[in-house]
Chains A and B, each alone.
Chain A
Amino acid sequence: GAVVSQHPSWVICKSGTSVKIECRSLDFQATTMFWYRQFPKQSLMLMATSNEGSKATYEQGVEKDKFLINHASLTLSTLTVTSAHPEDSSFYICSAIPVLPNTEAFFGQGTRLTVV
């Protein structure tokens, strides 16, 4: 089946620094990718929809200047957490859906971000 690769799987950074997370669809093109955040023992919360070649669409309450999303190609979207704070520590997950209408979504393995 189709694979979505997310990198890194875990990262520890200092407060105030920026961290970039990559999401790649390995064997299909994804004009749209999605970024989720998940806190311990909670469900996934959609942060933003990443559109290839255009600006991302952010969910209410998600700061677009803090969570920079770039979707430069049909197989790569990146999420950059800028000026990270400890409260940004979370599990970040990307998802991609092939263009065909009746298909399942594919998820990356997630990135565990810890800000110290």
Chain B
Amino acid sequence: DAKTTQPNSMESNEEEPVHLPCNHSTISGTDYIHWYRQLPSQGPEYVIHGLTSNVNNRMASLAIAEDRKSSTLILHRATLRDAAVYYCILRRAGNMLTFGGGTRLMVKP
């Protein structure tokens, strides 16, 4: 599986936008970019995914670089409930998700 690189941790102020980066320089043409987040003592929760085009949903936006070697998860207004570990994962259709270290997002009131 192609690997992803994320910062170990990031801090944000409440109600400000957060940009979580992810590098995936070895991505292949069939890899989807998935983002999940995990709150303490819970299973991961789906956030968003995309292939080539930027994607928006009620939780976040996903900005994908033109060469697809990096992507950014955007939380438009961080809340305290967004404090979690965010995982950027490359997935091929039908394949399992392989988790890297993720980014621990801390949100300050």
| Contact A112 B41, beta carbon cutoff 8 Å | yes
User: In the complex, what distance in Å separates the CA atom of A107 from the CA atom of B99?
Assistant: 13
Asked if B49 lies at the interface with its beta carbon under 8 angstroms from chain A, I say yes
User: In the complex, what distance in Å separates the CA atom of A93 from the CA atom of B93?
Assistant: 21
* B73-102 to A contact mask, C-beta < 8 Å, 1/0: 000000000000001000101101111111
| Contact A107 B96, beta carbon cutoff 8 Å | no
| Contact B96 A44, beta carbon cutoff 8 Å | no
| Contact A43 B43, beta carbon cutoff 8 Å | no
| Contact B46 A104, beta carbon cutoff 8 Å | yes
Tally of A-B residue pairs with Cβ under 8 A?
A: 56
Asked if A102 lies at the interface with its beta carbon under 8 angstroms from chain B, I say yes
Task: Classify the secondary structure of B's interface with A.
Answer: loop
Known interface pairs A43-B87, A104-B46, A106-B46; A95-B41 also in contact (CB < 8 Å):
no
| Contact B101 A43, beta carbon cutoff 8 Å | yes
Known interface pairs A95-B97, A101-B94, A102-B93; A6-B43 also in contact (CB < 8 Å):
yes
| Contact B46 A44, beta carbon cutoff 8 Å | no
| Docked complex: A34-87 residues within 8 A CB-CB of B | 34, 36, 43-46, 49
| Contact A44 B41, beta carbon cutoff 8 Å | no
Asked if B44 lies at the interface with its beta carbon under 8 angstroms from chain A, I say yes
Of chain B, the residue at the smallest CB distance from A94 is B43
Asked if B16 lies at the interface with its beta carbon under 8 angstroms from chain A, I say no
| Contact B96 A46, beta carbon cutoff 8 Å | yes
User: In the complex, what distance in Å separates the CA atom of A108 from the CA atom of B98?
Assistant: 16
Of chain A, the residue at the smallest CB distance from B47 is A104
In the complex, chain B residues whose CB is within 8 Å of the CB of A107: 36, 43-45
Q: In the complex, what's the smallest C-beta–C-beta distance from B91 to chain A, in angstroms?
A: 8
In the complex, chain B residues whose CB is within 8 Å of the CB of A105: 34, 36, 46, 91, 97
Known interface pairs A93-B44, A102-B32; A43-B94 also in contact (CB < 8 Å):
no
Residues of chain B touching chain A, judged by Cβ–Cβ distance below 8 Å, are 32, 34, 36, 38, 41-46, 49, 51, 87, 91, 93-94, 96-102
Residues of chain A touching chain B, judged by Cβ–Cβ distance below 8 Å, are 1, 4, 6, 32, 34, 36, 43-46, 49, 91, 93-95, 97, 101-102, 104-110, 112
